[in-house]
Amino acid sequence: MDENKSDQPSGKHPSPYIRLKKFHFIMLVFFLVFATAAITTLALAFGGEKAAEVGMKPRGEFEKLYEAYDKLEKNYYQDINEEKLINGAINGMLDSLDDPYSDYMDKKEASQFHESVSSSFEGIGAEIQEEKGMIKIVSPIKGSPAEKAGLRPNDRIMAVDGKSLEGMSSSEAVLLIRGEKGTKVKLKVQRAGTKEPMEITIVRDEIPIETVYAEMNNDKVAHIQITSFSEHTAAELKKAIEEMEKKGMKSMVLDVRQNPGGLLDQAVEMTDMFVPEGKVLFQVEDNQGRREKMVSDSKKKVTVPVVVLVDSGSASASEIFAAAMKESAGVTLIGEKTFGKGTVQTAEDFKDGSNMKFTTAKWLTPNGNWIHKKGIKPDIEVKLPDYANLPYLNPDSELKLDSLSEEVKNGEKMLEALGYHPGKVDGFFDKATEEAVKEFQKKSGIEQTGVLSGDTTVQLMTDLREKIQENDTQKEKAIEILKEKQSSSAS
């Protein structure tokens, strides 16, 4: 979920979230209605009079809960907030499931949850989820402040503006991370493989929910990036394909890297564009082990050769899409192993505007594989260059002559990747490093101080990001394979 929470794992989805359309699976509807009825019972059960008013029979398993509530109401040394207590009871039930994708949201959190898949919002633009009491990044949104700041999948957000996130739900974390456009938020981030947490200051912005980006190269290979599965993504994809067809598209790279998931109905509609009629798109297994298959219909299919790009930020709805393309459409997957989220969530609103999102089923690939916590291995594994994984440099830090730190070492690696010569890459800011910074500043039109800070740091990370885009080894491999297919079909 991005600081919109979502399936999004989408897709994430506080975590990635898949909203299942009820008419798709009649069997699931039964279980969802049953669960909702049980929730409503609990919401009304605090006070026997209300239960009697709606003609509901007492349930013995709730006696302990009633007793605890009555004791608190009668004996607690201060006045209690009834609403807060009831909300806490519901939240406690969901927490006890030990499921990062099940979550209770109050009115404000629920409002943001619905907003995250249907409109723009203001924040940093990163899907997050709670895992074992910690908040971690599922994926930054394309073009967002989070992406520009260098946040990456699996980064752990330890604190927001000095407030620890330990033990918080993703919904609670979202409220701290989001904020008005133009305001700053300081994140304390721990990245795997680094010794010390990073302090990252990000300026919030409006995050539009535009999810499909298409371009064509000179060989008529279209590159279509899908950044999440939101309310209009399927329509956006259809439009993009039509535009590429008008430009003479001969083949297509579908890119769901860093896509944390989203709405299941969108993933189904999009997958249906490529999978032959009658083939399985995916399967759903309920809590009794019963399986239901979703199959492709007879709508018009895309016929040009296709490959799909995936990585560790491809989650949930992205994985449903990728698995169906691989197993039912015979499409080659290129990149790195996906995130590994194999469960389906449903969001149910309470009358007061609050919301409960909970896991209702497993989803399985067309061949019946459950990829939860395993991910999907690509057919062709291709990694990005090492410099694509370098951590964020804080522009507020002042790295200069005689500085010694891990940040200096990362700065040296960035300079080296961009063709400068900082001397030995060892974390020590020596004369060679200073000269490399001055050379970079001169080329960038920045005052030549030899200090890596402020505008220099921002420009360094911007140039590196552009280099990563220009040297996208995964995309290059996809285009190579498609050009081979074009050649073989032409001959």
pLDDT digits (tens, 9 = 90+) for 105-140: 888 777 766 655 444 578 898 878 887 778 988 778
Q: Are residues 227 and 288 in the same domain?
A: yes
Domain harbouring 260, CATH code: 3.90.226.10
Looking at residue 277, its pLDDT comes to 96
pLDDT band at 167 (very low <50, low <70, confident <90, very high): confident
What does pLDDT average to over the chain?
A: 84
Is residue 83 domain-resident?
no
In a domain, 491, yes or no: no
Task: Please say if 316 is a catalytic residue.
Answer: yes
Report if residue 52 sits inside a domain: no
Judge if 429 and 325 occupy the same domain. no
Q: Which residues pair with 226 in a beta bridge?
A: 212
pLDDT digits (tens, 9 = 90+) for 210-240: 789 999 999 999 999 998 898 889 999 999 9
Nearest to 101 by CA among 169, 27, 23, 190: 169
pLDDT in tens, 318-362: 999 999 999 999 999 999 999 999 998 888 889 888 889 899 999
pTM greater than 0.85 (yes/no): no
Residues 302 and 328 in one domain: yes
* 302 and 219 within one domain: yes
pLDDT number for residue 120: 58
> What pLDDT is stored for residue 11 in this prediction?
34
> Residue 68 domain-assigned?
no
Give yes or no: residues 377 and 403 share one domain. no
**What percent of the chain is modeled with pLDDT above 90?**
57
Per annotation, catalytic residue among 127, 327, 336, 412: 327
First to last CA, the chain: 47
The answer to whether residue 164 is catalytic is: no
Q: φ and ψ at 98, to 5 degrees?
A: 55, 45
Query: Could you tell me if 367 and 254 lie in one domain?
Result: yes
pLDDT at 469 over 80: yes
Q: Domain limits at 232?
A: 212-342+361-381
How far is CA 361 from each of CA 290, 350, 370, rounded to the nearest angstrom?
Answer: 10, 21, 11
Quick one: 243 and 261 in the same domain? yes
Q: What is the pLDDT of residues 300-321, one digit of tens each?
A: 899 999 999 999 999 999 999 9
Q: What is the per-residue pLDDT for 157?
A: 94
Is residue 31 exposed (0-12), middle (13-18) or buried (19+ Cβ within 10 Å)? Answer: middle
What pLDDT was estimated at residue 26?
25
Same-domain check for residues 372 and 429: no
Q: In this structure, what is the dihedral angle of CA atoms 20, 22, 28, 31, given to the nearest 10 degrees?
A: 110
> Quick check: 456 and 394 in contact, CB under 8 A?
no
Higher pLDDT, 406 or 45: 406
pLDDT over 90 (residue 293): yes
3-state secondary structure of 128: strand
The helix/strand count (H/E) of the chain reads as 14, 19
Q: Which of 5, 148, 326, 341 is catalytic?
A: 341
Candidates 226, 218, 335, 303; CA nearest to 485 is: 303
Lowest mean pLDDT among 40-49, 89-98, 243-252, 482-491: 40-49
What pLDDT, on a 0 to 100 scale, did the predictor assign at position 194? 76
Are residues 298 and 249 part of one domain? Answer: yes
Q: How many domains does the chain have?
A: 2
- CATH number for position 427: 1.10.101.10
Q: Per-residue pLDDT averaged across 52-58, rounded?
A: 47
445 within domain boundaries: yes
In order, the DSSP letters of 243-302 are HHHHTT--EEEEE-TT---B-HHHHHHHHTTTSPTT-EEEEEE-TTS-EEEEE--SS---
Judgement on whether residues 233 and 368 belong to the same structural domain of the protein: yes
Render pLDDT for 201-217 as a digit per residue (tens, 0 to 9).
Answer: 999 998 777 789 999 99
Residue 103 lies in a domain: no
In a domain, 365, yes or no: yes
Domain finish residue from 351, 381, 411? 381
**Number of other CB atoms surrounding residue 190 within 10 Å:** 17
Q: Are residues 398 and 445 in the same domain?
A: yes
Confidence at residue 58, expressed as pLDDT on a 0 to 100 scale: 64
Confidence of residue 77 (pLDDT cuts 50, 70, 90): very high
Active site residue 301: no
β-pair partners for 188 = 159, 199
Same domain membership, residue 292 and residue 223: yes
Q: Give me the pLDDT at residue 489, please.
A: 66
pLDDT of residue 16: 32
In a domain, 216, yes or no: yes
Picking from 310, 361, 320, the residue whose alpha carbon sits closest to that of residue 101 is: 361
Please pick, among 15, 316, 354, 403, the residue that the annotation labels catalytic: 316
